[in-house]
């Protein structure tokens, strides 16, 4: 090989190796939050910060608002490796990790501060190695919020007022247990179909956090809201272990840090927005908001607690309730 050809060959090899070294790792993130809502904004913040801090070596392609399919489908795609990461509800994780249903035990959490302590503390320590067994790396828990009840029929102050009402729930065991314990009839409807189901009067009511009710304009068909804070739900940021392995340790550190920062942003924004949204629902949207004594509701939850205990196993239920007792003082 003459000197010119040798130089050309070496140059091409160098260019090829350079392109391999600096080729960006692209990760696909799927979630179900509506555009413009706190979690959707947090996801875009996460994307921008990761790309900036890695100098473009890690790119996050965000697909929100069920663009990749229903929430359960997206989580399954992450577990299979077809999607790299997701923001998945606790109820969706519970289909693959039954112990996750303990978080949704009705009236276990008294407020956001208590939920944060448990989910960021003892529960995280419990959950992370279990998720790892099925190929998921836990990054952080974002916000969905405390769930409230709405309906189109009448004000609901006590469980007896719910008797016979058809209440939409996601395909989530503990939420259904709550509705049934209160005397209602739980009807499973997938999240992407929720708004249309309300408009068509398929059910009488539904349960979701204030922010979701507001963002989806459920007040157009649901004229009564009951503030129950009956269970807390989050969006869990998980990533497929093989996708995680594509990142260098330094990149993993950045992604984990930015996930935690986005989680804090989502939590703060959801909580700050709730009071403003509730005020607007009452004063502008014409919603009748009831704030009942929660003691009678909690007292009616015996059957729901027994169902949760049977589903997750007595040991897991006892373990979680120990966390509740520890953090309720």
By C-alpha distance, which of 82, 141, 151 is closest to 115? 141
pLDDT digits (tens, 9 = 90+) for 154-171: 999 999 999 999 999 998
Q: Residue 22: what pLDDT? A: 59
User: pLDDT over 70 for what percent of the chain?
Assistant: 93
The alpha helices in the chain, defined as continuous H runs, are: 3-21, 38-53, 71-80, 90-94, 112-120, 122-132, 173-181, 194-200, 210-215, 241-244, 249-283, 295-299, 302-312, 314-327
Beta partners for 12? Answer: none
229 beta partners: none
Helix axes 122-132, 314-327, angle to 10 degrees: 150
pLDDT at 173 over 80: yes
- Mean predicted confidence (pLDDT) in 137-149: 97
| 2-31 pLDDT per residue, tens | 555 545 454 545 444 444 455 899 999 999
**Which burial class, exposed, middle or buried, applies to 91 when counting CB atoms under 10 A from its CB (0-12, 13-18, 19+)?**
buried
Helix (H, G, I), strand (E, B) or coil at 48: helix
Cβ proximity of 57 and 255 under 8 Å = no
Q: Is 204:153 a contact under the CB 8 Å cutoff? A: yes
Dihedral angle over CA of 262, 264, 266, 269, nearest 10: -130
* Chain-centroid distance, C-alpha 62: 16
pLDDT at residue 23, rounded to an integer: 84
Tell me if 215 sits within 8 A of 144, measured CB to CB.
no
pLDDT digits (tens, 9 = 90+) for 258-298: 999 999 999 999 999 999 999 999 999 999 999 999 999 99
Domains of the chain (ranges, CATH numbers): 3-90+98-320 (3.40.190.170)
Tokens of 286: 């014409």
Strand pairing report for 166-169 and 205-209:
parallel
Q: And the tokens for 114? A: 């208590």
pTM: 0.89
CA distance 208 to 146: 8
Structure tokens at 251: 């990149």
Contact 149, 183 (CB under 8 A): no
DSSP annotation of 319 reads H
Alpha-carbon gap, residue 244 to 255, rounded angstroms: 10
Q: What would the pLDDT profile of 230-258 be if each residue is shown by its tens digit?
A: 999 999 999 999 999 999 999 999 999 99
**Main-chain phi, psi angles of 161, to 5 degrees:** -70, -20
Q: Which residues contact 163 (CB under 8 A, 6 or more apart)?
A: 183, 184
């Amino acid at each position: 090989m003459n000197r010119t050809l040798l130089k050309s060959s070496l140059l091409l090899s160098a260019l090829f190796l350079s392109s391999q070294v600096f080729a960006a790792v692209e990760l696909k993130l799927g979630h179900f939050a509506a555009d413009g809502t706190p979690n959707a904004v947090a996801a875009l913040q996460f994307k921008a910060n990761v790309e900036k801090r890695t100098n473009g070596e890690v790119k996050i392609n965000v697909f929100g608002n069920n663009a990749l399919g229903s929430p359960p489908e997206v989580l399954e795609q992450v577990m299979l490796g077809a999607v790299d990461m997701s923001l998945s509800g606790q109820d969706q994780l519970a289909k693959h990790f039954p112990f996750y249903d303990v978080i949704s035990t009705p009236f276990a959490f008294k407020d956001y501060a208590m939920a944060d302590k448990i989910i960021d503390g003892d529960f995280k320590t419990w959950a992370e190695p279990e998720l790892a067994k099925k190929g998921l790396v836990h990054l952080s828990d974002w916000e969905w919020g405390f769930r409230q009840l709405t309906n189109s029929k009448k004000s609901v102050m006590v469980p007896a007022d719910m008797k016979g009402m058809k209440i939409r729930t996601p395909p989530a065991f503990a939420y259904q247990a709550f509705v049934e314990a209160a005397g209602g009839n739980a009807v499973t409807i997938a999240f992407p179909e929720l708004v249309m189901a309300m408009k068509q009067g398929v059910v009488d009511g539904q349960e979701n956090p204030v922010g979701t009710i507001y963002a989806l304009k459920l007040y157009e068909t649901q004229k009564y809201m009951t503030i129950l804070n009956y269970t807390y739900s989050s969006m869990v940021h998980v990533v497929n272990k093989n996708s995680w392995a594509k990142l260098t340790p330094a990149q993993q550190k950045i992604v984990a840090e930015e996930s935690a920062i986005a989680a804090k942003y989502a939590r703060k924004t959801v909580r700050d927005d709730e009071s403003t949204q509730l005020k607007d629902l009452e004063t502008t949207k014409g919603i009748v908001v009831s704030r009942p004594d929660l003691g009678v509701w909690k007292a009616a939850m015996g059957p729901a607690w027994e169902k949760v205990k049977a589903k997750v196993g007595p040991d897991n239920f006892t373990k979680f309730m120990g966390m509740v007792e520890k953090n309720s003082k």
